[in-house]
Structure 1
Amino acid sequence: MISPSSFPGGTSVTDLAVYADAAPDGVCGGTPHMHLASTEAYVVTGGSGELQTIDAAGFRRTPLAAGAVVWFTPGTIHRAVNHGGLAVVVIMSNAGLPEAGDAVMTFPADVLADPARYAEAARIPPDADENERAAAASRRRDLAVAGFAVLRERVDGGDASALTEFHGAAARIASARASGWSDIVRARPLHSAERALEAARAVAAGESAHLADAAVHVAEPGAGPRAFGMCGRLRTYDVAD
């Protein structure tokens, strides 16, 4: 059960160190993927790189350097590229929902067509040692890069159906785990918006009782080694009140 949080906008925050090793195409960085329901934002805190994206407008490169703020909406296929020391604070909408599986990686079409093969390709063994988990993260990144290359080639060649086909395949992959997503949205972003509306109405009526609930909260970073995320090594923060 996702509890309400007063953290701004029902969002989540993660400290991301983008992978620095190279995929088979020679590009250093993360796993190309897409979110089906959540908007993602990068606040770049160090290093340099670029965000490679595919959407209805085609393939695009967006430079990333310290101080940059970039965000992308659901359906945007994205790949974080590390030119050196790329560090990012990631803000995700719908806190709790991305963790529930709204991301789908750009594996080749035959893998996307088989949920069991997709799950196996995406899996990082939770009980394996650090080296085994790192190897699994690299394998799935490299497989997603292969699929990303095909999508980019088709899109660059004017094949508008490439993106539509991937969107459909991604929705089919995620549909089995999406039954609880509405509850997560209600518990976090919708709850946050409703509280803001209540406060606005109260102030307009000259009332101030809601201000008695004022409080300071400090988010604790996750303990232990950084997790293996899609774009890099992650340190998450618990933003529950």
Structure 2
Amino acid sequence: MEAPLPGGIGLSHISAYPWEAADGVCGGSPHLHLACTEAYVVTGGRGAVQTLTVEEGFTETPLEPGALAWFTPGTVHRMVEGSDLRVTVLMQNGGLPEAGDAVFTFPPDVLADPDAYARAAALPAKEGPEAEAAARKRRDLAVEGYLRLREALADGDDGPLRAFHRAAARLVAPKAEEWRERWRAGALAAAERTGEQLTALARGDAAHLAAGTVRAAGPTRRGGYGMCGRRDEYELPGTTLPYYGE
């Protein structure tokens, strides 16, 4: 039997991008998740995560060693580099982000055209100068759209952010049923196993304990170009290598 991480979560390690964007800030590509909560566990360095939500507007949460920050679906987030920021990412519903549960804050004309979005999000290579140039271009386009959303919120107008939410939902709608199957096989199956174990324990049945097992894994790929920064990625039960436009 497969042994997924607790709760069927996904995990990766990220070092924030050091590239300066149009607003003078160094960091990653702003984006949101549509069905997954994401958590940052800061393991080194310093920085911040900038977020945009309908309820809270723009916020910036400091990140330093030992800090834990998490954000629910619909939260636009941007990892900001301070000094050698390193973060372990815990992702709800392992397998869904890898299947595309993330949308960049590209400008509205790109979001309105699925083919244009796919071209803007894709990387032509996994490594080397071409991959870095494409990842940086992708980041800059996402920052362009993000700054428009942030400026509108600062003016008290959440309309553009709500419009972005709708555009993101339209983009991923064709994938939703396939995501449902991943969720059933991953996070839902993990929760259901716990229910079965509790039922067994209530009647004094310890049979499932005999199936205890240990698994270990190292990064499947180091230094990949993700949304927020360079990623050390793990291929674990119930997941595939990360999507993130790669």
TM-score normalised by structure 2 residue count: 0.92
The code of the aligned residue for 2:63 comes to L
What secondary structure does 1:96 align onto? coil
Give the drift of 1:179: 2.9
1:160 to 158, 161, 170: 158
Q: Distance in 2 between matches of 1:59 and 1:205?
A: 51
Range moving further from structure 2, 43-52 or 117-126 = 117-126
In structure 2, the partner of 1:190 is 188
1:41 to 28, 39, 49: 39
Give the drift of 1:238: 2.6
In structure 1, the partner of 2:7 is 9
Any idea what the Cα deviations from partners look like across 1:123-161, whole Å, max 9, x if unmatched?
A: 10136x510000000001001101000000111111121
In structure 2, the partner of 1:226 is 223
Q: Any runs of at least 4 consecutive aligned residues in structure 1 with deviations exceeding 3 A, and if so which?
A: 3-6
Q: Distance in 1 between matches of 2:3 and 2:138?
A: 33
Question: 1:1-241 alignment to 2 at 5 Å?
Answer: 5-56=3-54, 57-126=56-125, 129-223=127-221, 225-240=222-237
Alpha carbons of structure 1 residues 114 and 164: separation in structure 2 relative to 1, 3 Å = same
Q: Distance in 2 between matches of 1:214 and 1:5?
A: 10
Q: Distance in 2 between matches of 1:156 and 1:163?
A: 12
Any idea what the Cα deviations from partners look like across 1:140-186, whole Å, max 9, x if unmatched?
A: 10011010000001111111212211100001111233330000000
Q: Distance in 1 between matches of 2:97 and 2:34?
A: 9
Give the drift of 1:32: 0.1
Range moving further from structure 2, 32-41 or 17-26 = 17-26
Q: Distance in 2 between matches of 1:5 and 1:212?
A: 14
Give the drift of 1:4: 5.1
Q: Distance in 2 between matches of 1:87 and 1:112?
A: 30
What secondary structure does 2:36 align onto? coil
> 1:4·1:188 contact (CA, 8 Å) conserved in 2?
no
Structure 1 alignment gaps of length 5 or more: none
TM-score normalised by structure 1 residue count: 0.94
Structure 2 alignment gaps of length 5 or more: 239-246
The code of the aligned residue for 2:227 comes to M
> 1:19·1:233 contact (CA, 8 Å) conserved in 2?
yes
User: Quick one: percent identity of the two aligned structures?
Assistant: 51
> 1:5·1:188 contact (CA, 8 Å) conserved in 2?
no
Alignment root-mean-square deviation, CA: 1.5
> 1:4·1:187 contact (CA, 8 Å) conserved in 2?
no
> 1:41·1:71 contact (CA, 8 Å) conserved in 2?
yes
Q: Distance in 2 between matches of 1:178 and 1:133?
A: 29
> 1:18·1:233 contact (CA, 8 Å) conserved in 2?
yes
Q: How many residues align?
A: 237
